[in-house]
């Protein structure tokens, strides 16, 4: 048995890619899109007809910048719809990182994305709206969840973020492994064994908090740098894994041991975290502050690069 199949005995596997060929090959349960992944997929031959079709339908009444921004959303949904046809589960689609601190704008954008999916025959129960785990993003998710629009809260690096998501009844959270490890590796100069890896230990603690508190929120480990990090989180309900790591798992044989218990002793629910406590506890964690800000900047920068590429195509006769 491949280690990928063995891993599937403990965790649902999600593809961290927009590459249709990789999705068809590794057959994940769920998949995701965001500006960074679309940027990587923008030049793939398999998407060129779809890209040209989407760009040909963009409203020409606005400025070039407006049209490029609109095209990113339409392209996210078009690619997401293509991916949804090849997976049994959900497609996560990201609200622009530029809206990470605007609750109402995030809610409006989520509604627009759901409407675009429905125009393509993909109903809301196949979509997860992806939002940054800021206080404002979590509040937007709380509203959307009550409307029946389920959410994936990303860029999660602190216990405060996790608790606020649990309190809000968020469907799924994505605590990051690799970006936490990167921070501590740079800060200390150390290379960590998987069991001692700060990113692995953080995600394990989030899984324990969710399980022991009896929260319904699904925990999905994300941002892996190595197969060893992935295997160290076997038993985390979901793991989103990039194609190169999926290939390493699929091409090697062996058993995979569960490293996260399937159940934890049920304990009293933690007190809901308020706004000021959220800000205090999150901001006392230097790593979390650094990684959240860096993640928002990176997603925003990739969206700007994608918009520039789209603007170039739109200007061509």
DSSP symbol at 273? P
Q: Does residue 17 carry a pLDDT above 90? A: no
Determine the pLDDT at residue 207: 95
List, for residues 185-212, the tens digit of each pLDDT value: 999 999 999 999 999 999 999 999 999 8
Q: Does residue 21 carry a pLDDT above 90? A: no
Determine the pLDDT at residue 48: 87
| Mean pLDDT value of segment 138-149 | 98
| Mean pLDDT value of segment 164-172 | 97
Determine the pLDDT at residue 160: 96
| From 130, 146, 185, 190, the catalytic residue | 130
pLDDT band at 157 (very low <50, low <70, confident <90, very high): very high
Asked whether the beta carbons of 37 and 18 are under 8 A apart, the reply is: yes
Determine the pLDDT at residue 60: 74
Bin 169: left if φ > 0, else alpha if -120 < ψ < 50, else beta: left
Calculate the alpha carbon distances from 177 to 15, 112, 141, 233 in Å.
Answer: 16, 31, 22, 10
Judged by average pLDDT, the poorest of 9-13, 14-18, 132-136, 174-178 is 14-18
Q: Does residue 31 carry a pLDDT above 70? A: yes
List, for residues 212-245, the tens digit of each pLDDT value: 888 999 999 999 999 999 999 999 999 999 999 9
The Cα–Cα gap between 260 and 244 comes to 24
Determine the pLDDT at residue 249: 97
Q: Which residue has the tokens 């990051």?
A: 176
Three-class SS state of 131 = strand
How many other CB atoms are found less than 10 A from the CB of residue 195? 11
- Which has more confidence, 288 or 20? 288
Determine the pLDDT at residue 286: 98
Q: Does residue 282 carry a pLDDT above 90? A: yes
Provide the Cα torsion 121, 123, 124, 125; round to 10°: -140
Judged by average pLDDT, the poorest of 50-64, 69-83, 243-257, 280-294 is 50-64
Determine the pLDDT at residue 93: 95
Determine the pLDDT at residue 296: 97
Q: Does residue 100 carry a pLDDT above 90? A: yes
Q: Where are the beta strands (DSSP E) in the chain?
A: 12-15, 30-33, 91-94, 127-132, 151-156, 172-175, 218-221, 238-241
pLDDT band at 269 (very low <50, low <70, confident <90, very high): low
Determine the pLDDT at residue 52: 86
Q: Does residue 120 carry a pLDDT above 80? A: yes
Percent of residues, the chain, with pLDDT higher than 70 = 97
Determine the pLDDT at residue 142: 98
Asked whether the beta carbons of 172 and 220 are under 8 A apart, the reply is: yes
The Cα–Cα gap between 123 and 110 comes to 13
**pTM (predicted TM-score):** 0.93
pLDDT band at 265 (very low <50, low <70, confident <90, very high): low
Average predicted confidence (pLDDT) for the chain = 92
Does 305 participate in catalysis according to the annotation? no
């Amino acid at each position: 048995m491949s280690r990928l199949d063995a891993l599937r005995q403990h965790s649902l596997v999600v593809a961290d890619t927009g590459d249709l060929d990789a999705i068809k090959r590794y057959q994940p349960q769920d998949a995701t899109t965001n500006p960074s992944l679309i940027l990587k997929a923008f030049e793939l031959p398999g998407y060129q007809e779809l890209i040209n079709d989407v760009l040909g339908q963009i409203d020409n009444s606005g400025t070039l910048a407006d049209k490029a921004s609109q095209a990113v959303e339409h392209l996210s949904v078009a690619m997401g719809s293509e991916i949804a046809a090849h997976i049994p589960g959900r497609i996560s689609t990201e609200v622009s990182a530029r809206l990470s601190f605007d609750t109402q704008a995030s809610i409006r954008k989520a509604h627009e994305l759901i409407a675009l999916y429905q125009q393509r025959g993909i109903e809301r129960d196949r979509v997860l709206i992806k939002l940054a785990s800021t206080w404002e993003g979590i509040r937007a998710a709380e509203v959307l969840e009550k409307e029946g629009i389920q959410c994936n809260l990303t860029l999660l690096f602190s216990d405060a973020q996790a608790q606020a998501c649990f309190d809000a009844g968020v469907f799924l959270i994505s605590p990051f492994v690799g970006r936490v490890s990167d921070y501590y590796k740079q800060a200390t100069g150390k290379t960590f064994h998987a069991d001692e890896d700060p990113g692995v230990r953080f995600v394990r603690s989030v899984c324990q908090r969710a399980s022991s508190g009896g929260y319904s929120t699904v925990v999905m480990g994300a941002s892996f740098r190595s197969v060893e990090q992935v295997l160290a989180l076997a038993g985390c309900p979901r793991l989103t894994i990039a194609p190169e790591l999926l290939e390493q798992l699929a091409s090697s044989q062996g058993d995979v041991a569960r490293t996260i218990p399937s159940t934890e002793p049920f304990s009293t629910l933690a007190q809901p975290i308020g706004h000021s406590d959220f800000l205090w506890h999150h901001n006392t964690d230097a790593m979390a502050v650094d990684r959240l800000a860096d993640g928002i900047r990176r997603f925003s920068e990739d969206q700007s690069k994608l918009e520039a590429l789209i603007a170039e195509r739109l200007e061509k006769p």
